[in-house]
């Protein structure tokens, strides 16, 4: 322990991260957020990995989103047993590691005080942010972690680079290159929305470490570890059918239906909905799917003003961050020949500029794509990488706020006080979002009880195979520990969007298969169907669910 020397900043950081972890542990222990079939798919995958020896590369039915969360869930199943809580422990681990990484990144590129403010803001969050941190939906917590790690490692390598060093220093740098390659590879496998951060952190390495990268060992470390991290993606695409490769699917998702669309609607939707949603606006949440039981708000004038004001303030801060980073990088470039410290200073300021540049690139790609046109709130998760640039956005405010106690004339002092108040307001708004989330716990518990009551009822009725809607099936299979197998059908009762095709094949082969639909799904079809065939089917209505059994 005598070698473990923690400063007051590290102790405070540990307390903040521990508090963040406790908050999220409380939420998932109370079944918040309520689950759905997308998360049920990851739960099923985790079960198959843990108990059937399966090795999925992607989320079932999606050939671009890696299965890392399912593997973490399988590990937690072995330790704590299969459950929704255990599945979410893997996501909690990813988020805690992200907080550690973002603290180290902010401390490396900026100051320890700003690093503490950064993790304080990120420790809390709105309903939307906490949902995508705690509900197993795919590569969003993975993107935060690996995107942060790529910039952290690249920044350390760039700042500490020098022509000669000890053998220990050289070995550490080799390990650093390998770690960057592994983090980049795993991030790309998990979700390709990380690419802007991988690309610009890689550019940072090329700018400041190009001499080392011309050598065999550093280049080999990067390429080998990158190949290891991305190997599942490589393996799949070597065997993929034409049009089913990850690149084709990704390009389709990025530009589907967007060939002749004017850019202005993309910009307006991103400004009015996507940016406030992903950056933690806790007020007037937007729900774009009637089947997802999330809180929503009407399209009122007050909500539009709130969203627009939030986005305007965020983009103003974003623009200030770009200007400050560009100006300081330019000043560091002019002084680059003043010695080793000047070169380190240039590397640090360049890393700051590329960090905010990564967020800018991610935002531009999002605006150009089709996501803002269809469901801009739901698709806001594609720019979750904006959170990685949080220290860069807070830096201009911190620059002025930290001079508040220094002697200054009236105008600079007012500016310092205003910046300090702005930082305080940002922290308070983030905390407000979490307080609102805790008020939703009773609703989450009620939904969880309804889901488990349905599982119990189906088992008591002897139903093991059933058809259902998309938002019913995989959730039902996971919560029942696959005692109830469900095949997805559309409103016209035809097969539709079955992520795990084997389930549908099993259900289809059973002549005694039942049907289970939420009251809001296929009501007219089911009622008409039963009325037309009263001798063939028996209808049971149970707490808002239609349960149709063949006689």
**pLDDT of 294-334, one tens digit each?**
445 556 788 889 999 999 999 999 999 999 999 999 999 98
CA angle 233/54/70 to nearest 5° reads 65
Cα separation of 151 and 441, whole Å?
36
Cα separation of 126 and 280, whole Å?
5
- The two structure tokens encoding residue 28: 């998932």
Residue 409 has a pLDDT of: 72
Question: At residue 1, does pLDDT exceed 50?
Answer: no
Question: At residue 293, does pLDDT exceed 60?
Answer: no
CA angle 315/318/321 to nearest 5° reads 155
Residue 290 has a pLDDT of: 46
- The two structure tokens encoding residue 353: 């500029």
- Are the C-beta atoms of residues 499 and 41 closer than 8 Å to each other? yes
Question: At residue 51, does pLDDT exceed 90?
Answer: yes
CA angle 435/439/442 to nearest 5° reads 150
Question: At residue 519, does pLDDT exceed 90?
Answer: no
Residue 296 has a pLDDT of: 53
Which segment of 87-101, 250-264, 336-350, 497-511 scores lowest on mean pLDDT?
250-264
Residue 164 has a pLDDT of: 62
Mean of the pLDDT values across residues 453-480? 94
Distances (CA, A) of 433 to 34, 37, 359: 17, 25, 23
- Are the C-beta atoms of residues 285 and 297 closer than 8 Å to each other? yes
**Mean per-residue pLDDT of the chain:** 90
Could you tell me which residue, 531 or 10, shows the higher pLDDT?
10
Question: At residue 3, does pLDDT exceed 80?
Answer: no
Residue 525 has a pLDDT of: 77
Whole-model pTM?
0.93
Cα separation of 109 and 147, whole Å?
15
Mean of the pLDDT values across residues 399-420? 78
């Amino acid at each position: 322990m005598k070698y473990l020397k923690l400063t007051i900043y590290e102790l405070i950081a540990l307390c903040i991260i521990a508090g963040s972890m406790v908050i999220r542990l409380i939420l998932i222990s109370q079944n918040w957020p309520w689950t759905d079939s997308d998360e049920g798919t990851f739960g099923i995958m985790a079960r198959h990995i843990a108990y059937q020896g399966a090795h999925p590369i992607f989320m079932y039915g999606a050939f671009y989103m890696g299965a890392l969360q399912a593997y973490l869930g399988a590990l937690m199943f072995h330790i704590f047993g299969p459950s929704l809580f255990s599945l979410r422990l893997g996501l909690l681990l990813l988020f805690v590691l992200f907080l550690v990484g973002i603290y180290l990144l902010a401390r490396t590129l900026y100051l320890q005080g700003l690093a503490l403010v950064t993790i304080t803001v990120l420790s809390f969050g709105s309903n939307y942010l906490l949902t995508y941190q705690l509900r197993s939906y795919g590569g969003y917590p993975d993107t935060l972690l690996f995107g942060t790690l790529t910039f952290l490692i690249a920044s350390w390598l760039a700042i500490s680079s020098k022509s000669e060093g000890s053998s220990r220093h050289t070995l550490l740098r080799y390990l650093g290159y390998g770690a960057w390659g592994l983090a980049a590879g795993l991030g790309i496998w998990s979700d390709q929305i990380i690419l802007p951060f991988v690309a610009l952190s890689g550019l940072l390495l090329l700018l400041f470490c190009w001499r080392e990268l011309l050598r065999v060992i550093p280049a080999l470390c990067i390429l080998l570890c990158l190949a290891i991290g991305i190997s599942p993606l490589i393996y799949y695409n070597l065997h993929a059918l034409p049009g089913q490769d990850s690149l084709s699917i990704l390009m389709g998702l990025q530009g589907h239906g967007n060939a002749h669309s004017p850019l202005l609607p993309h910009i307006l939707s991103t400004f009015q909905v996507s940016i406030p949603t992903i950056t933690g606006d806790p007020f007037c949440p937007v729900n774009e799917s009637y089947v997802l039981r999330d809180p929503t708000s009407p399209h009122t004038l007050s909500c539009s003003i709130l969203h627009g004001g939030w986005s305007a303030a965020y983009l103003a801060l974003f623009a200030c961050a770009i200007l400050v980073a560009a100006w300081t990088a330019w000043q560091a470039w002019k002084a680059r020949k003043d010695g080793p410290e000047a070169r380190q200073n240039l590397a640090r300021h360049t890393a700051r500029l590329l960090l905010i540049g990564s967020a800018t690139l991610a935002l531009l790609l999002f605006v150009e794509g089709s996501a803002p046109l269809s469901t801009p709130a739901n698709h806001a998760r594609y720019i979750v990488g904006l959170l990685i640039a949080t220290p860069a956005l807070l830096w201009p405010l911190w620059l002025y706020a930290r001079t508040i106690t220094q002697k200054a004339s009236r105008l600079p002092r007012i500016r310092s006080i205003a910046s300090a108040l702005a930082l305080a307001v940002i922290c308070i708004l983030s905390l407000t979002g979490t307080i609102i989330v805790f008020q939703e716990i009773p609703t989450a518990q009620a939904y969880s009880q309804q889901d488990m009551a349905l599982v119990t009822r189906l088992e008591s009725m002897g139903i093991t195979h059933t058809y259902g809607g998309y938002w019913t099936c995989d959730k039902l299979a996971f919560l029942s520990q696959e005692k109830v197998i469900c095949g997805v059908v559309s409103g016209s009762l035809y097969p539709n969007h079955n992520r795990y095709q084997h389930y549908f094949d099993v259900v289809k082969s059973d002549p005694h298969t039942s049907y289970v639909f939420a009251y809001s799904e296929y009501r007219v079809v089911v009622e008409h169907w039963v009325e037309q065939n009263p001798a063939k089917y028996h209808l049971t209505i149970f707490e808002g669910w239609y349960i149709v059994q063949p006689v």
